[in-house]
Chain A
């Protein structure tokens, strides 16, 4: 179709400008000032890779990075497994399927701040149902302060996202529904049992959906500032610190802008690296 060039430009311009303001300028600023000395209300002066050397020397940063890596691994494996099992069960189209699909999605649909607040209360040492239930099971003196206890806080934080794999499940369910019945019927005629059907037919055919779900699950671990702010606030000490919360604290509590942006660059790289690895593992660029 032949159209005037100016319409193309005019239609694209608002989106491109908006994108430039929100993303491009920001990324350039993060990259450039990560190499600079820059504190609030201070001059910006170039100092090479000093910020990077300093962040890797800091125990808080190393802990945040390690936590993030652990959470990414857990989310890409355990969480994805939950989602896939859920999808396989629910896609059998029983009467209860719709109900479970709706309910399983709830924690993913509300504000993470509200979810964090919910868990903060569930694990409350005084009135939280978790402690009450454990006491009711016979451990009468059980009084764990989950988010303030060094041994428990990591576990209690992880529980706010690990079981809720509805997004992985939705992607896999959509892909399972696209498998032609003829393939499944042929396998059944050949004598394939339920497990063989799942293992040899269904899972290989939904490989790229699982890969996509894994990428979403892994990268979601790079944005959990909200839940941490509402529950453990990265503590006790730096036990549950992650990169987003550390960036926030470095920028707005310590006011060391250059260093916060160096941490930001690391955060972006961790994201790209995770996506690259998952792409390789699930061979996402090859046809099924």
Chain B
């Protein structure tokens, strides 16, 4: 009886993990290999390794859509989206987690409420607000929106880390005659580096992957980001499957690389961002 149970549980685990592997890794491997295949090979479904390292599809993908330009836009949006978000929230999280003052609870609750609002409800109002300040169809419009969307998660990650820094660190700095700003810059910030890495990775994923606002707030090549390239060129790629797969790989690869390298930060960021929400 015990052995039967054991075999059954092993079988269940094996089947479950195999299914998980098939549905998660399967599609990725297929697209990756197919991105090196010719149209003919793709149509006849020669699963597995392509006949050679055929990088023509990648050259063609770059030709069909201005992917290089979109890469450039995505990098700018992501870079400033991370910098400004960390800058404003590291200051806000510091005073919110370190000092007592009126309205503290109110401001903290307000920031957390961001997590309760589905982004799609804000599509139209942000379209009108961003147009009003003349940032429609500009990478800066996207940056403003993404910095705002990152506020709750970054706040949770940074303030829970600030709370682990012993108060004696600041007190001794004050005794040495350092002022408020100096203490923050030279004592607190260097200690909080790991939290900045975590919050930065989460903000990277947000800015690099975001679709619906990139679709709504931009209209030209000079401001569109990578996820939008896939949308606009779905029909342009329609007859050239290999190039379409190459484009998918080009868009996804940065996120996958960042995740594989910084897996620990992504996991702790997800846990910290979720538990408080």
- Give the B-binding residues of A (Cβ under 8 A): 1, 3-5, 7-8, 11-12, 14-16, 18-19, 21-23, 25-27, 29-30, 85-86, 89, 96, 100, 102-107, 109-114, 116-122, 126-127, 129, 132, 163-164, 167, 170-171, 174, 193-194, 212-213, 215-216, 219, 222-223, 225-226, 229-230, 243-244, 247-248, 251-252, 257, 260-261, 264-265, 267-268, 271-272, 275
Known: A11-B95, A104-B20, A114-B252. A216 touches B274 (CB 8 A): yes
Beyond A30-B122, A100-B21, A267-B121, list 5 extra A-B contacts (CB 8 Å): A11-B95, A103-B24, A118-B31, A122-B27, A174-B267
Top 3 nearest A-B pairs (CB, nearest first) are A22-B148, A244-B120, A15-B92
Nearest chain A CB to B241 CB, angstrom units: 6
The answer to whether A264 touches B244 (Cβ under 8 A) is no
Q: Which residue of A lies closest to B132 (CB)?
A: A25
List residues of B (121-172) whose CB comes within 8 Å of A's CBs: 121-129, 144-145, 147-149, 151, 155, 167, 170-171
Nearest chain B CB to A42 CB, angstrom units: 13
The answer to whether A212 touches B274 (Cβ under 8 A) is yes
Q: Which residue of A lies closest to B214 (CB)?
A: A113
Note all chain B residues with C-beta closer than 8 A to A112: 209, 211, 227
Q: List 11 A-B contacts (CB under 8 A).
A: A8-B99, A16-B92, A89-B17, A110-B251, A129-B26, A229-B211, A229-B231, A244-B123, A261-B125, A267-B118, A271-B116
The answer to whether A110 touches B43 (Cβ under 8 A) is no
The answer to whether B95 touches A7 (Cβ under 8 A) is yes
The answer to whether B245 touches A121 (Cβ under 8 A) is yes
Q: Which residue of A lies closest to B122 (CB)?
A: A26
Interface flag for B91 (CB, 8 Å): yes
Known: A132-B45, A275-B116. A30 touches B274 (CB 8 A): no
Q: Which residue of B lies closest to A213 (CB)?
A: B274
Nearest chain B CB to A198 CB, angstrom units: 11
Note all chain A residues with C-beta closer than 8 A to B125: 25-27, 29-30, 261, 264
Note all chain B residues with C-beta closer than 8 A to A170: 267, 270-271
Interface flag for B56 (CB, 8 Å): no
Note all chain B residues with C-beta closer than 8 A to A230: 230-231, 234
**Complex formed: what's the CA distance from A132 to B270 in Å?**
37
Note all chain B residues with C-beta closer than 8 A to A118: 27-28, 31, 248
Nearest chain B CB to A39 CB, angstrom units: 12
The answer to whether A110 touches B148 (Cβ under 8 A) is no
The answer to whether A15 touches B212 (Cβ under 8 A) is no
Interface flag for B50 (CB, 8 Å): no
Known: A222-B118, A230-B234, A247-B120. A18 touches B21 (CB 8 A): no
**Complex formed: what's the CA distance from A167 to B271 in Å?**
9
The answer to whether B148 touches A261 (Cβ under 8 A) is no
**A127 interface neighbour in B43, B122, B145, B267, Cβ under 8 Å:** B43
The answer to whether B42 touches A127 (Cβ under 8 A) is yes
Note all chain A residues with C-beta closer than 8 A to B87: 14
**Complex formed: what's the CA distance from A265 to B118 in Å?**
10
Nearest chain A CB to B105 CB, angstrom units: 13
Nearest chain A CB to B150 CB, angstrom units: 10
Interface flag for B9 (CB, 8 Å): yes
Interface flag for B49 (CB, 8 Å): no
Nearest chain B CB to A86 CB, angstrom units: 7
Q: Of B101, B148, B228, B241, which is in contact with the most chain A CB atoms at under 10 Å from its CB?
A: B148
- Give the A-binding residues of B (Cβ under 8 A): 5, 9, 13, 16-17, 20-21, 23-28, 30-31, 42-43, 45, 47, 87-89, 91-92, 94-96, 98-99, 101, 107, 110-111, 113-114, 116-129, 144-145, 147-149, 151, 155, 167, 170-171, 180-181, 205, 208-212, 215-216, 226-228, 230-231, 234, 241, 244-245, 247-248, 251-252, 255-256, 259-260, 263, 266-267, 270-271, 274-275, 277
Nearest chain B CB to A65 CB, angstrom units: 13
Q: Which residue of A lies closest to B128 (CB)?
A: A29
**Complex formed: what's the CA distance from A219 to B88 in Å?**
27
The answer to whether B116 touches A272 (Cβ under 8 A) is yes
The answer to whether A252 touches B216 (Cβ under 8 A) is yes
Note all chain A residues with C-beta closer than 8 A to B95: 7-8, 11-12
The answer to whether A171 touches B270 (Cβ under 8 A) is yes
Note all chain A residues with C-beta closer than 8 A to B92: 11-12, 14-16
Nearest chain B CB to A70 CB, angstrom units: 17
Note all chain B residues with C-beta closer than 8 A to A167: 270, 274
Note all chain A residues with C-beta closer than 8 A to B110: 16, 19
**B114 interface neighbour in A19, A86, A222, Cβ under 8 Å:** A19
The answer to whether A226 touches B121 (Cβ under 8 A) is no
Nearest chain B CB to A9 CB, angstrom units: 9
The answer to whether A251 touches B124 (Cβ under 8 A) is yes
**Complex formed: what's the CA distance from A264 to B25 in Å?**
36
Q: Which residue of B lies closest to A107 (CB)?
A: B24
Note all chain B residues with C-beta closer than 8 A to A268: 116-118, 121
The answer to whether B118 touches A223 (Cβ under 8 A) is yes
